[in-house]
Structure 1
Amino acid sequence: MARSDRSLNKTERLFALVLLLQNRPNMTSRDLSEHFGVSRRTIFRDLRTLGESGVPLTYAETGGYEILEGYQLPPLMFSAREAATLLVGTGFTKLQPDASLRTDADAVAMKIRNVLPEPVRDYIDRLQERTVLAPFNEVRDRGATGDEQGLWFELSEAIARQRKVKMTYYVASRDEETVREVDPLGLVYYSDHWNLIAYDHLRDDIRNFRLDQIKKLRTRFDRFEAPAGFDLKEHLRERGTSPENVRMQVRFRNRAWRWARTQVPADIEQELPQDGWTEVTFEFENVAYVAKWLLRYGTDVEVVSPDELRDEVIRQAQSVADMYAAVAT
């Protein structure tokens, strides 16, 4: 099936051509022409250019082009934006339950960092100190909304370079937009959306702003200094020990706990293995949210305490049963 890659410029196509032949050798000029959506004459010119630049191209006895084994592309040079994107991507991979994926993600992140020029590496280090992914371990499979796209990197730049930001922010509780000037201190990904942690000059306090509620954004030239001793992870940890939190104890069958442990919406205080079960203790402020999350695991989970959580699970389960009973009648 032909693939339209006419949007690639020649340099990008040559790079893609090398990668393609290394992963799928013995492709004919017709195969390559269809893959990139260009003429065979263009493919022949590209192959000649690669050969003249030192890429060891050969024509296999079985037909088709290939690159001699052992050839490696020169080290890639990443821009600050590309490196930040890749490292955030490996961060999400490290949240997966598969230990081998987490190990590979660590190795990839280290390799990326090692090839970065020192100024870009310093920039990335500052940014990583101010970026936290899923502090309560839950990540849902949802891409950025149109409102969030483009804001993440602009804010990450402001954070790394300590630049003030002026924004128009939608306050859902009052159904109104307000103009805020803030000092951006960090970016946090909570379950399914990005959040900006920033010092809000209007409220004279550190506040949380959802990126999908930011309607306009402009980075200012004037710099700011973070509050003395501010640590993003410690700030999030303190928020997680809110007096509104409810202490919860829940038992999971071991077969379910393997997956559930990556999605507990809080820091786990205690994890006690039992006969075929694991009992965990954590604190969270939203009982209804936890009840809804627990329903995913059916009979593989049991609420130990508090009664408030047990009653909420029963209520939500009964609502589901009533809905289907109504449909059946």
Structure 2
Amino acid sequence: MNKTDRLLAILLELQRKDILRAEDLAAIFETSVRTIYRDIQALSESGVPIVGAPGIGYSLMEGYFLPPVSFTAEEAVALLIGTDFVEQKFDTDYGMKAQASRRKIEAILPESVRREVSQVRTTIRLLAEGKGTNHTEKAYLEILRIAVLDKRKVRFGYSKKMPEADGNRQSVRVVAPYGLVLLHGSWVLIGQCELRQQLRHFRLSRMNDLIMLEDSYQLPVDFNLQDYKQVDDRHINVHLKARSDIIDKLKEANHFYMESIEEREDGIHVFLRVRHPEELLSWILGWGADVVVLEPESLRERVRTEVEKMLKCY
């Protein structure tokens, strides 16, 4: 990045955030603190009202606003594809805002850039994964988004794929929602569950009768959604062997729990890690005789039992 581009980028960062230290800017632009000092001086000398406080950082004087900036064709394409994604995967309100943003971006582009953007976009199309986000999930997403911002608890019925310790799959949860994550094309709520008294994950697709409560909550000071990592409690290893001619299909399937695929002389060996082996039962049966369970023995026996039940149906 040359100096001119960096100066503009620093100005945009200062406009976007209330205050930034020289060390923060140096990390963002991968340069030295000394260079940032010189850049700040250059911006000040050019008339940009930058306020600096020792030990605190730099900020723009209140009321200063950078005039609209121009986009390259590549930047415009990136933004427009982003609006396509938001329209497909977010709730209705944000979908409408995405449409409005797309029209505004297209309206301010110079004619030459607009033509180039149009040409590029004819070669790129964003399709939602699978069936996409359905109407119910989008409605729930909007409720949860508001609940997260307003710090209000929610209540909903929840259907688990595997039974809990008490043997039940269905339960009613009251949750303090901390954030929303789009994981493998599915929206997931992360929040403190009152029933389990711990931080839990809930797929929106398994919720029903979602309502926002009047009860408020305080977000823990040490919780940051961007830094949050789920505790990995998948402690059971599963070893499968598959026919060599379906390796491409296995790779395309890209199962969430898949750890690795190895090509060996006797076939393709697939390694997965799960909480409950039964979570893979339907997936394994879907491959028919092309996939065989090697370990654990309990899963081999479970597959045998299920196949015997299927044979009785025929």
TM-score for both structures, normalised by structure 2: 0.48
TM-score for both structures, normalised by structure 1: 0.46
Question: Which structure is richer in relative contact order (CA contacts within 8 A, separation 6 or more)?
Answer: 1
